[in-house]
Structure 1
Amino acid sequence: MRPWIRNTLIVAVAALAASAGYLAQRNASSSTSGQPYAARNAGAPILALTLPDSNGGLQALEQWRGKVLVVNFWATWCPPCLREIPDFARVSERFSGAAVQFVGISIDKPDNVRKFADELKVPYPLLIAPLQTLELTTPLGNTAQALPFTAIFDRRGGLQLIKLGTLNEVELEGKIRALLAEP
């Protein structure tokens, strides 16, 4: 494939994903805190993931059970994702001594993720996933499989918040504090 065709396709896919994320974000902020147990267990396929980090080492999300787990699906080519990651990094650092773990799951190439993590000094693990991994978010309301998409789990592994689109620092910190306060 010619380089200009490949580059045009990449830009087109990125623009479509960003547009889908923006449009979905306008109507898709939801919380599962008032839902029955089945809904709170809907994130089990995400917790079952084992993915490579940007250095190739395998990381199982299950290793962080017992902590509030913030799982953010993102990509370096997704402008809304890039806007929210500095907020996630700040909140992650504020909770560094607490039972909280942030994990970024990037739909991207390892080299892009490594470069991004080094430039922004992202303080939490960034894992690499194929595009098909976004299918796990469809039952959670991400029918467009758009980015960014965040799922927050309580210390027992129950899905407590899902958010399609950007999640701001205040909302993120508030939800984490509420979950840490639970017995």
Structure 2
Amino acid sequence: MKPLVRNALILAVAAAAGFAGYLAQRNSSPPRPAAAQVARDAGAPILALNLPDSDGQPQTLSQWQGKVLVVNFWATWCPPCLREIPEFAAVSRRFADAPVQFVGIGIDQPDNVHRFAEENKVPYPLLIAPLQTLAVTSALGNTSQALPFTAIFDRRGELDFVKLGTLNEAELEGKIRALLASR
């Protein structure tokens, strides 16, 4: 088999497998817990994370306590994640002067995350984590440890909302505005 044909076949099989995995996750994932069903302190393991950013500098998520904190687990190899991030970036820019902090946790290789951050001008920190880090999301309803997964914390550091799967711009902005209005 010619190398070009072989490479095209490998790419087609990989794309089909990725799409099938996405559909399986979307159609068979366990029901997501509603915000009211999630214990407000259940997000403590996420806030306790200490991970390197895309420049290799260690960052603790607890440093952003006092702000509405949007934590998005994603990867450069995850098509739904890549569709979601531009909307997260747009919302992040709209709240740049508010007590709101977005953080992306890339389940990926540092070079991939760094390159993605530069090419897409993501306006918030992107941290790098090994696949095992997704275990902190299991207690929040992400038993399949799938991506994307988003957790939103209020200004007191209490978990307010979780979502497995993509979160659209309007829903994300609505959640943030509600948290900013409450105290």
What TM-score, normalized to structure 2? 0.87
Structure 2 counterpart of 1:163: 163
Aligned-partner SS, 1:122: coil
Q: Which has the larger radius of gyration?
A: 2
- Partners of 2:74 and 2:24 in 1: how far apart? 13
Counterpart amino acid of residue 27 in structure 2: L
- The yes-or-no answer on 1:103 pairing with 2:103 is yes
Cα drift, residue 20 of structure 1:
4.7
Contact 2:32 2:142 in 1 (8 A): no
- Runs (4+) of structure 1 exceeding 2 A deviation are 11-25, 27-31
- Partners of 2:18 and 2:110 in 1: how far apart? 17
- Partners of 1:49 and 1:66 in 2: how far apart? 17
Aligned-partner SS, 2:156: coil
Cα drift, residue 119 of structure 1:
1.1
- Partners of 1:153 and 1:53 in 2: how far apart? 20
Contact 2:33 2:140 in 1 (8 A): no
1:1-183 superposed matches below 5 A:
11=14, 14=18, 18-23=22-27, 28-32=31-35, 34-35=36-37, 39-183=39-183
Aligned-partner SS, 1:151: strand
- Aligned residue pairs total 172
Cα drift, residue 19 of structure 1:
3.9
Aligned-partner SS, 1:143: coil
- Partners of 1:64 and 1:119 in 2: how far apart? 25
Contact 1:71 1:104 in 2 (8 A): yes
Contact 1:72 1:103 in 2 (8 A): yes
- Partners of 2:42 and 2:20 in 1: how far apart? 27
- Partners of 2:51 and 2:166 in 1: how far apart? 23
What TM-score, normalized to structure 1? 0.87
- Partners of 2:153 and 2:164 in 1: how far apart? 15
Aligned-partner SS, 1:56: coil
Aligned-partner SS, 1:85: helix
